[in-house]
Chains A and B, each alone.
Chain A
Amino acid sequence: MFAYVLRRFAGAVPTLFIIVTIAFFMIRLAPGGPFDLERPLDPLIMKNLERAYNFDKPLWQQYLIYLGNLAQGDLGPSFTRRDFSVVDLFRTGLPVSIQLGGIALSIALVVGVFLGALAALRQNTWVDYMVVGTATFGITIPTFVIAPVFSLFFGVMMGWLPAGGWGTWQHMVLPIATLALPQIAIIARLTRGATIEALRSNHVRTARAYGLPSYVVVGVHALRAAILPVVSYLGPTAAALLTGSVVVETIFGIPGIGRYFVQGALGRDYTLVMGTVVVIACFVIVFNLVVDVLYAWLDPRVRYD
C-alpha cells in the first residue's frame, strides 16, 4: 500500500505541473498588471518594481524562476498586500478555512449519513418524505442565497447570532451552517439512494433469509455498501470545503483563503492567484488519494494498482 501511495504521488506531479503551467501563462497573457493603478506610477519606480519582481525578464525565464521557487516551497511575495508573502497569507488564512470547512464537513457527514439511512429504512413514510424534501431544498438553493438569508434572518432580524465577523464560536455558527447544509442534503440523498439499492440487493436478501438480526442486516451488510458512494463523493468535496468558500467568507466577513483567488485575480496579484491554484490542486490530489485508499479498504474488490 505504501508503494501505491508513493506511486500516486509521483503520478500527481505531472498533473500539478500542467495546472501550474496553464495557470501561469493564462494569468500572464491577460491584459493589465499588478502595478496598473488609477494614477500611473512614476516610470522610474515602475522600472524598479519590474526589476525587483523580474518582470523585465522574458516570460519563459519568469516561469522557470517561479517553478524553481515553487519546488522550494516559496510561492513568492504578494503584489497587493506588499508586506506579506503568499506563504504568510496562507499561514494565517488556511487554519481559519480548514477549521470552518472541517467542522462543516464532519457535521454534514454525520447528519447526512444518518438522515439518508433513516429515510431509506423508512422508505415512503413521512420521515422519508421529510428528508427527501429537505434535501431537495438544500441541493437546489445555492450558497450565495442561503448565506445572506441566514445572515439577514438570524443576524439582523432576530439578533441571535452575529451577522458577520470572526472571533468567537458564535461567529462560526452561521458560516458552518451555510457550508454544511447543502452537503448534508447531497450526502443524505446519496446515502438514501445507495441504502435503498443495498437493501434490495441479493446479499442483503441472503442475510435476511438467514435470520440475522436487523441491526446486522442493516448495519453490517447494507450500510457498508451504501457508504461507498459517499466516500467517493467525499474526496473533491473535502478539498473544496477545506480550502474555503468565496461566498461564505465574503458574506460573513471571514479572514479565510476562499477570497484570495477572486481578489488576487481582480488585482492582478499573480503570485496570490498562482498560490491559490497550487494549494487547491494539492488539496484535491491529496483528498482523492485519501478517498481511494479508504475506498479500497472498504471494498476488497478494489486493489491498489
Chain B
Amino acid sequence: MTQESILRVRDLHVEFETNDGMVHAVRGIDLDVKPGETVAIVGESGSGKSQTTMALMGLLASNGRARGSATYRGQELIGLSERKLNRIRGEKITMIFQEPMTSLDPLYRIGRQIAEPLVHHRGMSRKAARERVIELLELVGIPDPARRVDAYPHELSGGQRQRVMIAMALANDPDMLIADEPTTALDVTIQAQILALLAELQRKLGMAIVFITHDLGIVRRFADRVYVMRYGEVVEEGETSVLFDRPKHPYTMELLAAEPTGRKAPPPLEAPILLEGRNVEVVFGGGGGWFSGPEAEIRAVDRISVALHKGQTIGVVGESGSGKSTLGRALLRLLPSDGTVRFEGADISAADKRAMRPMRKELQLVFQDPFGSLSPRMTIGQVVTEGLKVHEPQLPARERDRRAIEVLEEVGLDPAMRNRYPHEFSGGQRQRIAIARAMILKPKVVVLDEPTSALDRSVQKQIVDLLRDLQKAHDLSYLFISHDLAVVRAMADHIVVMKQGRIVEEGPTDAIFDHPREAYTQALMAAAIDGTPFRQQAGAFE
C-alpha cells in the first residue's frame, strides 16, 4: 500500500452560515484515497461525513464554505472554478446518493440521464451513447435494458433506481466513486444486492470507492480502510480489521459496542396468554368512494395468528410493506380488522371505541418517529399526562404532576424539563418521552413499532436497554416491530417473519437466527447479519 493517493484531503473545513450563527460542520480533517481501494467514512448523523464529500465535489449548499485543501491527482479541488471542476466530476469522480427516489430527474427518461455524462464529457453522439447506456444497464443488472432505457424513473423501484444511478456513475469509467449512504433508504434484501453489485463492479473495473455510512456492518464487510468521524473531526482511522479488533479512540469503541447485545430469555412456559390474535385480517381500499369507482383491495394483513404471553417479547420482522405495523395496530384495535382478538381471555374483536377505552390503559403503543409522535404544541408534561386525564380523571393535578416526575425519571429524563416543548429535545430524548407517555399508565402490553429505527446506533442501544429494564421492572409484554434484525435479536425471545401480509416463518429467536428455514428468512439474515461478506457473494477476494 505504498501507492500515491489519488485523493488527498488536508485540513478541510466546512462552515455553514445559518440564522443561528456559523455552524462548523467539518473541522479540519485529513483523508487519503489510493487507487482501487475502498475507504469508508463512518459517523452518526451530524458528524460531517456527507459534507466532506459535498465540499470536494463542489456541491455545498449556497450558505456553505469550504477551506483547506483537497487534491485529486495533484489538482486542487477546493475553490476550483465550476468549469474546471466539471472536467473532473462525472468523468473522474462520480457519486451516488442516499435518496434513489429523488436523485434522478423525474421528467426525463433514464436513458437520457445516463447518457448525459457521456455526451458532455466524451462528446459522444446521442446514438452512440444509447448503445453504451444499454450496455451499462445490463452491467448493473437491470432486466431487459433495451426496453428499460426508455423508462421514466417513477416506473422503477427504489433498488432499480439505485442501479440506474450506479450505471450513470460508471458511464465514464471513473477513477473514484463516492457512495453517500447508497443503501440506507432501501430494504435490507435490496441493500444486500446493491452492495454486492458495487463490490463486483469494483472488482471488474478497479475504481476506488469512498463509502459514507453509519452502518458498521457494511463497513466491516466492504471497506479496506475506515475513517471514524464525530462532530466534524476524524477521531480515528485505520485498516478495517485493525480498527475493528483494536479500536483506540473511546468513541470508536462506543460505536462498536453500540450494536445491541444480549439475549432475552423466553418467559416461563406457564405464563398466561395476554393478547392473542386469530386469523387477523386487514384489508385496505376496496369499496371505493361514490365517485371514484371500485379501488383495488390490498390485503395488508392476511389471516395472521399470534399469541403474546405475559413477559414475552415477540419480534415482528419484515421489510417495508410487509404489514407488520398494520398487524400491531389491528391487535390494539386501532384499525378495523377481521378475525378475533382476545385480551386477557376476553374477545375484544367487536369492541367499539367506547368499549375499548378502559382497555387502552393496558394496551399501549410507541411509534417509530419520535418527531411525529409528540404533538408540537404540548409541553412534555402535558404529553406524558394526557393518558392519565383519560383514565384517572379524578386524579388531582398535584398527583398527576408527581406521577409525571416519577415516570420521566424512570425513562432517564430530567423532570425539571417537563415544561419544555418537544422541539427542544433530541431524537433519543423524544423517544424516551414517548415511552414515558405509555408507561405512566402502567400498561400490560406495549406494541413497539420500530421504536429505534429513526435513531443513531449509539442512541438505539440506550433505548433498547431502557426498554429491557422497563420490561423487567414491570413484567411487561412487548410486540416489537422492526426491520432491524440486530435490535430484534437483542430484544425478542420469539420471532415472526412477515412478507406481504403473511407469516413466512416463526419460532424462538435463536432458532430463527441460527437455522432459518425459509429462503426469504435466509435472505433477510444474510443481508443483515455479520459473517456473510458481500465480496464472497460477489465471488470476490477473502
What is the interface of chain A, defined by CB distance below 8 A to chain B? Answer: 123-124, 200-214, 216, 220-221, 224-225, 298-301
Contacts and interface: CB of A to CB of B under 8 A. Distances in A.
B107 A298 contact: yes
Nearest to A301: B154
Given A210-B95, A211-B90, 11 more contacts: A203-B102, A206-B95, A206-B104, A206-B165, A211-B117, A213-B86, A225-B106, A225-B107, A299-B107, A300-B152, A301-B106
Contacts of A212: 86, 90, 116-117, 120
B97 A210 contact: no
A209 B107 contact: no
B106 A299 contact: yes
Q: 7 closest pairs, A vs B, by CB?
A: A210-B90, A211-B90, A211-B86, A211-B89, A202-B102, A203-B105, A300-B152
Interface in B152-175: 152, 154, 165, 168
Contacts of A221: 105, 108
Report the interface size class on chain B: 20 to 34
Interface in B270-302: none
A220 B117 CA distance: 14
Contact of A209 (B87, B94, B104): B94
Given A202-B103, A203-B102, A203-B106, A211 B62 contact: no
A237 B88 CA distance: 45
B82 interface: yes
A213 B120 contact: yes
> Mostly helix, strand, loop or mixed at chain B's interface?
loop
A66 B537 CA distance: 78
B19 to A, nearest CB: 14
B117 A224 contact: no
B154 A300 contact: yes
B91 interface: yes
B512 interface: no
A211 B91 contact: yes
B99 interface: yes
A14 to B, nearest CB: 12
B473 interface: no
Contacts of A207: 105, 116
B121 interface: yes
B103 A208 contact: no
Nearest to A209: B95
24 contacts: A201-B102, A203-B105, A204-B105, A206-B97, A207-B105, A207-B116, A209-B59, A209-B90, A209-B94, A210-B89, A210-B90, A210-B116, A211-B120, A212-B86, A212-B90, A212-B116, A212-B117, A216-B116, A220-B108, A225-B105, A225-B106, A225-B107, A299-B107, A300-B107
B106 A209 contact: no
A129 to B, nearest CB: 16
A36 to B, nearest CB: 44
B85 interface: yes
A216 B57 contact: no
> Mostly helix, strand, loop or mixed at chain A's interface?
helix
A205 B95 CA distance: 10
Contacts of B58: 208
Contacts of A298: 107
B87 A211 contact: yes
B133 to A, nearest CB: 14
Contacts, number: 79
Contact of A211 (B88, B97, B107, B108): B88
A200 B59 CA distance: 10
Contacts of B152: 300-301
Contacts of A301: 106, 152, 154
Contact of A202 (B62, B87, B90, B97): B97
Nearest to A228: B107
Given A205-B59, A300-B154, A210 B107 contact: no
Contacts of B97: 202, 205-206
A225 to B, nearest CB: 6
A162 B149 CA distance: 59
A208 B95 CA distance: 10
Contacts of A204: 105
Interface string B63-103: 00000000000000000001001111111001101010011
B497 to A, nearest CB: 33
A208 B89 CA distance: 8
A205 B103 CA distance: 8
Interface in B318-360: none
Nearest to B117: A210
A209 B82 CA distance: 11
A214 B89 contact: no
Contacts of B106: 203, 225, 299-301
Contacts of B90: 209-212
Contacts of B116: 207, 210, 212, 216
A258 B95 CA distance: 56
A209 B57 CA distance: 7
A207 to B, nearest CB: 7
B385 to A, nearest CB: 41
Nearest to A224: B107
B87 A206 contact: no
Nearest to A199: B62
Among B95, B116, B117, chain A packs the most CB atoms within 10 A around the CB of: B116
A220 B108 CA distance: 9
B99 A210 contact: no
A72 to B, nearest CB: 31
B423 to A, nearest CB: 23
A301 B151 CA distance: 11
A58 B117 CA distance: 74
A151 to B, nearest CB: 43
Given A209-B95, A211-B91, A212-B86, A203 B120 contact: no
B62 A123 contact: yes
A280 B127 CA distance: 48
A213 B99 CA distance: 23
A299 to B, nearest CB: 6
Contacts of B103: 202-203, 205-206
A235 B102 CA distance: 28
A128 to B, nearest CB: 12
A211 B174 CA distance: 12
A210 B105 contact: no
Contacts of A300: 106-107, 152, 154
B464 to A, nearest CB: 32
B166 to A, nearest CB: 12
Nearest to B101: A202
A301 B108 CA distance: 10
A121 to B, nearest CB: 11
B353 to A, nearest CB: 37
A43 B120 CA distance: 85
A207 B187 CA distance: 26
A118 to B, nearest CB: 16
Contacts of B61: 200
